[in-house]
Structure formats: C-alpha cells, structure tokens
Amino acid sequence: MPKASFLLYCLLLLLAACSKRQTQEPIPIDNSQLEYFPLKYGHYVVYRVDSLVFDPAPGGTARDSSSTFVKEMVGDSLLDNTGQWQWIIERYERKATAEPWVLKFVGSASRTNTQAVRTEQNLRFLKMLFPMDRRSAWDGNLWIDKNREIEIAGERMRPFINWEYAVDSIDVPATIGGFVFDSTLIITEANYTDVIERRFSRAWYAKHVGLVQREQWILDSQYCAQIPPPPDCQTRPWELKAEKGYILRQTVLEFN
C-alpha cells in the first residue's frame, strides 16, 4: 500500500473511533447530604447524655455513672482568615429539666460542598466528606496528634489512637429517641480493640437535624497484662475489665 494511502487509512480509522465516543454527563452532586450537618442560626438539639466513668481505686476500680442534659445551639457566623464561614456552636448543660441552662463552652463548625468540620475544646474534627456513600472512609482526626493525652477522671489517656471514619449506612429510615427520621446517616469513627485498649465511637445523624445519637467507649485495662493472663482475658466484657476511661451514650430529646 502506498505510504499516502496508508496514512489516509489510519486517519479514517481514527475518525471512526472518535465518532463512536459518547460524552458522559457528570454525576450530579447530592447536595441534600449537606443537611446531615445543618448550620442555621438558632437551630438547636437537646440530648440526654449518660456516662459511666472508670477510675482506678484502692482495692479495685471505681465506677461513677451520671446523666446530664445537653443543649447545642447554632449561634452567629463569621468569616475566618481563609474566607470560610465559621458558625458558633454554644453548648449548655444542666442536671435536671427544672434547672436553668448553663453555658459550658463555645465551639465552632463549618461546612462546604466537600466537607463538614467541627471544633470542640480546641480539637478540630473532619466529621464528614461530601459526597458520601457506603464506601466512604477518611481520617477524621487528621488535625489531632494521635498520641495526644487527655485527662479523664484524673488519669492520663490517649483516646485518639486507631480511629478511622467510615460510613456504615446512609439515607436509611430509623427511629431514634422516639423520633422517626426518614433519612439517617451512621458513621463509625473508631472500632479498635486489643488486650489493653478499647476505642469505639459511632455517630448517628438525621437530615435537617444533625447529630441525633452517639456512643463512645474509650477504655484502658491491664487485666490481661497479668502473669499468667486470666483464662477469661479475651472473653471478659470491657464493662468488667476496664480500669480507666468512660462509656458514653448520647440521645436526642428535642430539636427545632
């Protein structure tokens, strides 16, 4: 075949292949997912928080249980030095419903089309990445030193070791705290266990409400470090072998 004819033949094949290509429309972003992290002035959620704190004591481990009512309310917004809107989150607490709310601390939250961030007690958490599906996973504590120590009941602990955020379910109906929600999101933030540490944190969110339930187990134990290890080392429940840390359960009671 003459060289000119061969080049023409190749050009025709290329044009034919290109003519069969179809332009794929981009997958639209589901902006409704942003409503799992609503930020609107005056929005509030009231919770009941039940906690069980473990504290080493002579002769064994002291266990202190308590219940607290918590109200989180979105306050004013302001622009930070990066041009991002930051919303003030006010946290109030009281021990009984007849008592007045007492402001405990002020945090902040921000949200874009790609992420939701919450700052509490000078700790910054990447709570969500958008868009999300059941394969979504990320480092929600990327701004926190994993070896950072925090004092819990007078004991130093490293609560942020071995955390990895992952979506368990999304857009699923659920009943939580007596409320029926048509769309909920479950994010497991940590689920790690070895013979001396238990790190578990899971959060439930509802569209247009935000966080509606949380459960955390931040526990340490030397029970299995005995020589020889007890025969029930692996099977003994953490509620019984924990020596320091806490178990927390937070459930929605009211929202606007």
Q: How many whole angstroms separate alpha carbon 138 and alpha carbon 71?
A: 28
Output Rg (C-alpha) for the chain, integer angstroms: 25
- Tens digit of each residue's pLDDT (9 = 90 or more) over 147-173: 999 999 889 999 999 999 999 999 999
Q: What is the pLDDT of residue 8?
A: 45
Which 8-state DSSP code applies to residue 223? Answer: G
Q: What is the pLDDT of residue 60?
A: 83
Contact 233, 205 (CB under 8 A): no
How far are the Cα atoms of 32, 112, 183 from residue 28, in angstroms, in the given order?
11, 16, 19
Q: How many whole angstroms separate alpha carbon 248 and alpha carbon 189?
A: 14
Q: What is the pLDDT of residue 188?
A: 98
Tokens 């002291």 correspond to 62
Tokens representing 90 are 């006010």
The DSSP bridge partners found for residue 152 are 155
Which 8-state DSSP code applies to residue 221? Answer: -
Q: What is the pLDDT of residue 23?
A: 52
Q: How many whole angstroms separate alpha carbon 34 and alpha carbon 29?
A: 10
- Tens digit of each residue's pLDDT (9 = 90 or more) over 66-109: 999 999 999 999 998 888 899 999 999 999 999 999 999 999 99
Q: What is the pLDDT of residue 7?
A: 45
Q: How many whole angstroms separate alpha carbon 215 and alpha carbon 251?
A: 9
pTM across the whole model = 0.86
CA angle 91, 175, 100 (to 5 degrees): 25
Q: What is the pLDDT of residue 25?
A: 55
CB atoms within 10 A of CB 211: 20
- Ranges of the chain with pLDDT below 50: 6-8, 10-15, 17-21, 27
How far are the Cα atoms of 13, 70, 95, 160 from residue 251, in angstroms, in the given order?
65, 10, 15, 22
In 3D, which of 126, 46, 43 has the Cα closest to residue 77?
43
So where are the chain's domains?
34-255
